[in-house]
Amino acid sequence: MMIQATGLTHYYGPQPAIQDVNFSVEKGEILGFLGPNGAGKTTTMRILTGFMPPTRGKVTIDGHDVVEESLQVRKMIGYLPETVPLYTDMTVSSYLKYMGTLRGMPPKKIKGRIADVVDVCRLGDYHKTQIGKLSKGFRQRVGVAQAILHEPEVLVLDEPTIGIDPIQVVETRRLIQDLGKSQTVVLSSHILPEVSMICQRVMIIHEGRIVAEDTPSNLAQRLQGVNRLEIEVGGPINEVLEALRKVEGVADVSHSSSMGKPVFTVQARGGQDLRDEISRAVISSGWSLLSMQTVGMSLEDIFLKLTTNEEL
């Protein structure tokens, strides 16, 4: 196991920011932390990288304790913090050289690696520019560049695509996936499609706790039973709503309109298939059933469900 986190709990004040967080990451895996603002993603990452000791719990990187063997661990980790402490009066290349020296890289090696990361992060035109004069997106690229400079075995990236324009986002995602072929990557995001696109495994964090952990497709499948039916009914909205709600097994019915036609969304309890019952209820009331389709849950729905403690 490359990363092993056990019982991580952290208090900044009276309330825990994270509570009893346990997970492990295998070598070469890309794990995504997904969670809303304030969920505890950054806190967990600060602890993972040895940036801050946890109030309770323990993290090992390839068997090394991040608190007790912090120097050794730091060489193994590349960290893109939420706010990168960039020295604004340095140029991109002098900053990278400085970071390489700090990490004990041999000077000859540093030169070659700067050329590589400048290329990989598309900083070529800006390597002589003062960091203070760079736009937000380019500073973020410098942040990624310093994280991968020393070819760490483990990469911890806190919201790597934030502040980057859409074209660069695509490239950054591709870069992370490439890095993930040889390195172990942990990244955080609050963008669902991003995490499911890049990561092999997703950990959903909410209010400092892990509420779900699985592959993106398993997560979707696990709740696939929770089907919704979308039906178009020719009938008075309130009466239709009432009739549908009376059908055995229906958990919830809502209505919206699509191109002027009312559409009813029926949520079945416990993943039941209610197509038969629903069509009977509509037709026996004398209305016409214009269309019916099953809608699976998107990861977005799952996320909302998991983080709002709603009953499934």
Binding site for ligand ATP (CB under 6 A): 12-13, 17, 35, 37-43, 82, 190
Q: How far is the CB of 190 from ligand ATP (least distance, A)?
A: 5
The sign of the dihedral angle between the CA atoms of 227, 233, 237, 243 is negative
The single residue among 42, 60, 161, 189 that binds Mg ion, judged by CB under 5 A, is 42
Task: Compare residues 82 and 242 and give the one whose CB is closer to Mg ion.
Answer: 82
Task: Compare residues 35 and 100 and give the one whose CB is closer to ligand ATP.
Answer: 35
Q: How far is the CB of 140 from ligand ATP (least distance, A)?
A: 14
Instruction: Find the part of the chain contacting Mg ion (CB under 5 A) among 36-44, 201-209, 244-252, 267-275.
Output: 36-44
Binding partner at 124 among Mg ion, ligand ATP, none, C-beta below 5 to 8 Å by kind: none
Q: How far is the CB of 275 from Mg ion (least distance, A)?
A: 43
Task: Compare residues 208 and 216 and give the one whose CB is closer to ligand ATP.
Answer: 208
Contact between 44 and Mg ion by CB under 5 A: the answer reads no
Residue 160 has φ and ψ, to the nearest 5°, of: -65, -20
Residues 206 and 306 sit within 8 Å (Cβ to Cβ): yes
As a whole number of angstroms, the distance between CA 153 and CA 2 comes to: 9
- Which alpha helices (H) appear in 66-191, and where do they start and end? 70-76, 92-102, 107-120, 136-148, 166-182
Residues 50 and 67 sit within 8 Å (Cβ to Cβ): yes
Q: How far is the CB of 3 from ligand ATP (least distance, A)?
A: 17
